[in-house]
Amino acid sequence: MPFKAPMLISALAGLALAAWTPFTFAPQSPKTPPVSEAEIKKLIAQLDNSSFKVREEALSKLAEIGPPALPALRQVAKNGSEGARQRAAVLIEKCHVVKMKGLTFKLVVPRNVSLKKGKGSHFVVKLEISNTTDNPCWLALKDKLYLRLKDKKGPDVFNGGVSKQHTFIEAEDISLAGRQSDAIFLHVLVSPGGSGLRFAWVDPFGGIHDANRDCLGPYEFSVMYSNFVQDQKNGIPYWLGDVEAGAEPIVFGS
């Protein structure tokens, strides 16, 4: 691991939730032409087509569209036929899967978090970074890795709802050998608030960061990285670009 966890992190780790759902980073590319809602709706309807070829073509096109298709896919996954629900579930995961220049970023969050009446709980957000090439590389994570929490009132609750600001994750830079993976763990604390839920998160060095207001669901966490990557074989840095997780909303219940 790139950091030594303090006693607080170690204690929380023993309580980590077992249910996980993986999401990886989707690039924010302004070059991607916009797709109309009508086109997405048409492709969604084709997920139930009797023709295997039509269904497969719709799956392929929706996977290419990616995150813009998520709202419609979520509806199908909830209310569609059994076959359409299964296909939509696969696409929802694919919408968050991408490899960028030999690196894979995966955000792992729980699907559901149980809250006892009047009491708080916690869950773990796990960021996995994998090098899929044979060349060793170095990532400058310090002050370039951010945690965000979006709710009904909008992003980012850790920064007063200002979408262009982020909360730094005080993580150390990491080096990855060829075909190697590493992970960073963040523990999120949640408790009942006056009109919703109150969140705080514990950074890898034990610092606690409290959200500045009560939050109203749905609750969506994401992590963003924006910096260079150093190829340690030839010593040449290259721009990875802005990548941000698009995790499905977390459900809190008793």
191 pLDDT above the threshold of 50:
yes
Shared domain for 162 and 58, answered yes or no, is no
Residue 163 forms part of a structural domain: yes
CATH for 229: 2.60.40.10
The DSSP code for 40 is H
Residue 168's pLDDT is 67
Residue 23's pLDDT is 41
CB atoms within 10 A of CB 238: 12
Say if CB 122 and CB 15 are below 8 A apart. yes
Shared domain for 103 and 174, answered yes or no, is yes
Residue 215 forms part of a structural domain: yes
Shared domain for 105 and 224, answered yes or no, is yes
Q: Please identify, among 94, 110, 142, the residue that sits at the C-terminal boundary of a domain.
A: 94
Which residue type occupies 201? W
Shared domain for 193 and 122, answered yes or no, is yes
180 pLDDT above the threshold of 50:
yes
Range of the domain at 111: 7-25+98-253
d(CA 182, CA 69): 30
Shared domain for 106 and 72, answered yes or no, is no
Give percent of the chain with pLDDT exceeding 90.
26
Shared domain for 56 and 160, answered yes or no, is no
Nearest to 181 by CA among 127, 232, 126, 130: 130
Is cis: bond before 218, omega within 30 of 0? yes
Q: Please identify, among 69, 94, 119, the residue that sits at the C-terminal boundary of a domain.
A: 94
User: If you write DSSP's letter for every residue of 173-242 in order, what string do you get?
Assistant: PEEE-TT-EEEEEEEEEEEE-SSSEEEEEE-TTS-EEE-SS-B-S-BEEEEEEEEEEEETTTTEEEEEEE
For residues 42 and 27, the model is more confident at 42
CATH for 51: 1.25.10
pLDDT tens-digit readout, 127-145: 888 899 999 999 888 777 8
Residue 81 forms part of a structural domain: yes
Shared domain for 106 and 225, answered yes or no, is yes
Residue 177 forms part of a structural domain: yes
Nearest to 148 by CA among 137, 160, 158: 158
Count of residues making up the chain: 254
Q: Please identify, among 77, 94, 111, the residue that sits at the C-terminal boundary of a domain.
A: 94
172 pLDDT above the threshold of 70:
yes
For residues 190 and 249, the model is more confident at 190
Residue 2 forms part of a structural domain: no
253 pLDDT above the threshold of 80:
yes
Shared domain for 120 and 159, answered yes or no, is yes
- Write down the mean pLDDT value for the chain: 78
Shared domain for 19 and 53, answered yes or no, is no
Shared domain for 156 and 143, answered yes or no, is yes
Residue 146: pLDDT band by 50, 70, 90 thresholds? confident
Shared domain for 88 and 107, answered yes or no, is no
34 pLDDT above the threshold of 70:
yes
Say if CB 150 and CB 156 are below 8 A apart. yes
Say if CB 158 and CB 212 are below 8 A apart. yes
The model's pTM is: 0.70
Residue 157: pLDDT band by 50, 70, 90 thresholds? confident
Q: Count the domains in the chain.
A: 2
Which residue type occupies 240? L
208 pLDDT above the threshold of 50:
yes
Residue 231's pLDDT is 85
For residues 158 and 51, the model is more confident at 51
Say if CB 167 and CB 148 are below 8 A apart. yes
* End-to-end CA gap in the chain: 34
Residue 69 forms part of a structural domain: yes
Residue 161's pLDDT is 52
pLDDT tens-digit readout, 215-240: 888 888 888 887 888 888 888 888 87
pLDDT tens-digit readout, 82-112: 999 999 988 887 776 656 788 888 888 888 8
Shared domain for 21 and 132, answered yes or no, is yes
